[in-house]
Amino acid sequence: MTLRSALHTAYPWIKTPLIASAPMLRIAMPPLAVAVSRAGGLGFLAAGYDVATLETDLEHAARLVRESDPPIRQAPVEKGVLPIGVGFINWGADLTASLEAIRKYTPCAVWFFGPVSQPDDLIPWAKQVRAVTSGRTRVWVQVGSVAEAVAVAEALEPDVLVVQGSDAGGHGLARSASVISLVPEVRDALAERGFDNIALLAAGGIVDGRGVAAALALGASGVAMGTRFLASHEATIAPGYQAEVLRASDGGISTARSTVYDRVRDIHGWPRRYDGRGVINESYVDAVERGMADEENRRLYVEETMKGDAGWGPKGRMTTYAGTGVGLVRDTLPAGDIIKRVLLEADETIKRLAGERSDTLLTLP
Ligand SMILES: Cc1cc2nc3c(=O)[nH]c(=O)nc-3n(C[C@H](O)[C@H](O)[C@H](O)COP(=O)(O)O)c2cc1C
């Protein structure tokens, strides 16, 4: 079976190339996840590192799916599977507490990211999720290097690897390459070891159809996008944050990778190999350029939280996690329209390139 038909079998409602919305902590909640799947993508609900509200969130998602008109297409064999995935941040998420909710709602996929020990900590997660859902919940893992991809493939045989490059918004490996070299090197490394059956999705800096066409050329079956969906109607996001995503441009300059955004927000669980990409603001400038101590920087951050939406922006201190593709995000749209537009653009790009290629061939001596 080709990777494309395997994806169609597992997720019968999807259009290909597959577009997944990333499980962004506190932002990718049921309305966004369900809207993405309803439009032919695969929406992920963010469970994050504290799964206290997972069951309530899944109940909410299940209600939105039931109310979907037209319904989200399910093959008979997959009846009873919730057509959204759930993303865990494994350094903090509790497996036992998560399993009951997974068993009860059977999301179509789980997405693992950020274990303390990669891949060892993920082995019980994959085994037990597959056991409680009889394999109906597929296993996805987000990785950021060739070594991680090979280790995870060998230890878990995931259904999908989300290959995250350095342009990605939010957390990722501090030492990382962009998808332009990472995805093909991962594809080759997996092929050499007989893992051609694992689908790859490229993540990091992809916000439009041109990026999707590029991801396919690199050997991916689709993409996972986070930053683009920050500017969607269904994202659970402060207006100040969303306005900053629309304002920022030239993402290689206006965003940076750092741990400062975790430190000012008093989040200390991330394994040392991770940092996070966000739009540069006063927290960053104070820490990196002015050498401000964390304690003072955090105090100023806490003060800033009182300002509401005015706290975002280059002169503000509220964190704007976003990827380098932020400059290509220029409008806020319903998530379904984002999927439609990106798929159309990808199709046009591929057709245009195919046309240009034929012209070249015709002019060769
Ligand atoms: C605001 C934000 C929050 C994120 N939160 C998570 C998360 O909770 N779990 C996770 O696996 N990845 C998270 N990510 C990373 C995404 O999974 C993905 O790798 C990234 O968004 C892809 O790059 P892009 O933002 O350029 O599309 C987050 C990304 C952003 C922008």
Cα of 171 to ligand 1 centre, how many Å? 7
At 1, which amino acid appears? M
Instruction: Give the three-class secondary structure for 251.
Output: helix
Residues 19 and 151 in one domain: yes
Residues 131 and 231 in one domain: yes
pTM for this entry: 0.97
Total domain count, the chain: 2
362 within a domain of the structure (yes/no): no
Residues 233 and 184 in one domain: yes
Q: Could you tell me which residues come within 8 angstroms of residue 96 by beta carbon, excluding any fewer than 6 positions away?
A: none
pLDDT computed for residue 204 by the predictor: 98
Token pair recorded at residue 107: 């999301």
**CA dist., res. 77 & res. 93, Å (int):** 30
Residue 43 lies in domain: 3-237+334-355
Cα of 302 to ligand 1 centre, how many Å? 24
13 within a domain of the structure (yes/no): yes
Q: Could you tell me which residues come within 8 angstroms of residue 204 by beta carbon, excluding any fewer than 6 positions away?
A: 164, 165, 166, 167, 168, 172, 178, 179, 323, 324
**Average pLDDT along the chain, 365 residues, taken 10 residues at a time:** 92 97 98 98 98 98 93 73 97 98 97 98 98 97 98 98 98 98 98 98 98 98 99 98 98 98 98 98 98 98 98 98 98 98 98 82 66
Alpha helix positions (H), 258-293: 260-264, 282-284
80 within a domain of the structure (yes/no): yes
Cα of 223 to ligand 1 centre, how many Å? 12
pLDDT computed for residue 356 by the predictor: 83
pLDDT computed for residue 239 by the predictor: 98
pLDDT computed for residue 76 by the predictor: 56
Ligand 1, atom 5: closest residue by C-alpha = 24
CATH code at position 113: 3.20.20.70
Residues 150 and 271 in one domain: no
pLDDT computed for residue 70 by the predictor: 86
**CA dist., res. 229 & res. 330, Å (int):** 12
Q: Which of 180, 190, 164 is nearest to 274 (CA)?
A: 164
Cα of 352 to ligand 1 centre, how many Å? 30
pLDDT computed for residue 339 by the predictor: 98
Helix axes 209-218, 179-192, angle to 10 degrees: 30
User: Which of 24, 148, 236, 338 has the most ligand 1 atoms within 8 A of CB, as the residue to mutate?
Assistant: 24
Q: Which atom of ligand 1 is nearest to the CA of 204?
A: 23
Ligand 1, atom 17: closest residue by C-alpha = 22
Cα of 332 to ligand 1 centre, how many Å? 18
Q: 324-353 burial, b if ≥16 CB within 10 A, otherwise e?
A: bbbbbbeebbebbebbbebbebbeebbeee
Token pair recorded at residue 176: 């990382």
Between vectors from CA 152 to CA 106 and to CA 169, what angle results, nearest 5°? 80
139 within a domain of the structure (yes/no): yes
pLDDT computed for residue 362 by the predictor: 65
361 within a domain of the structure (yes/no): no
pLDDT computed for residue 213 by the predictor: 98
Residues 205 and 256 in one domain: no
Residues 197 and 272 in one domain: no
Residues 90 and 119 in one domain: yes
Residues 201 and 317 in one domain: no
At 241, which amino acid appears? Y
Q: Compute how many other C-beta atoms are within 10 angstroms of the C-beta atom of residue 265.
A: 15
Measuring from each residue's beta carbon to the nearest atom of ligand 1, which residues come in under 6 Å?
Answer: 22-25, 27, 46, 48, 87, 89, 113, 142, 164, 167-171, 203-206, 224-227, 321-323, 325
Q: Are 197 and 4 in contact (CB under 8 A)?
A: no
Q: Compute how many other C-beta atoms are within 10 angstroms of the C-beta atom of residue 151.
A: 16
Residues 198 and 254 in one domain: no
Cα of 168 to ligand 1 centre, how many Å? 7
150 within a domain of the structure (yes/no): yes
pLDDT computed for residue 78 by the predictor: 63
280 within a domain of the structure (yes/no): yes
135 within a domain of the structure (yes/no): yes
Residues 215 and 249 in one domain: no
Residues 254 and 233 in one domain: no
Residues 232 and 253 in one domain: no
CA 310 to chain centre: 27
Secondary structure element (H or E) that encloses residue 192, with its range: helix 179-192
